A = this chain, B = another copy of it.
């Protein structure tokens, strides 16, 4: 297989959601600094709709995504990926299990976010993420390791605002971010949750679900405190780790 001399091949396991995976691939291209096709970062993006929904498994006992996640990562490895990532914060609940099952490192977007936080933005961060991720405490523990305090949405805020904006609501005929709806109603719902985190003392807002990353610009325009996107943090870390050491 032909290989770039500058970059390792990055494997992106997408589909969680689909647009988030494509958005990460786009941010990598922009961050690479390439001026020609030949200077780009080689990248494989696998948008797999067959991965059982993470939240449905965590909250409602739906099928486990583990085996399909492992199989999909293996597809990327077999195609030449030398560095892996999963642009879905919630899927990181399975990070340890997956890392044990495959032979290529999976960059951990949650730990990366906490490790690279700009201290000038303060140490109390408001974390917009899914219910499953709040309950499993991955952001809380990653923040604690780095001396940061993670302010999380309450169960009520998650249900009323965050999860409704991400998944939409069949009863209400509301299409959510997973259905590519980034309209005013959806942004408004997410902003309700964000405002409450800011009112409780967050000095920065973390977008800690890759669906929420898709409305980064809209939330940034509304927010009086800085907005930091976990997908940007992941993209920057991937560019760093993808660069081959000089011989």
Contacts and interface: CB of A to CB of B under 8 A. Distances in A.
Interface of A: 1-4, 7, 15-19, 22, 25-26, 29-30, 34-51, 53, 68, 71, 75, 78-80, 167-168, 175, 178-180
Copy number in the complex reads 2
Given A18-B29, A22-B22, A25-B25, A47 B36 contact: no
Given A4-B49, A78-B78, A79-B78, A37 B18 contact: yes
Nearest to A12: B45
Contacts of A29: 18-19, 22, 47, 180
A47 B22 contact: no
Nearest to A170: B35
Given A22-B26, A29-B19, A44-B45, A50 B175 contact: no
Contacts of A40: 15, 17-18, 47, 49
Contacts of A47: 25, 29, 40-45
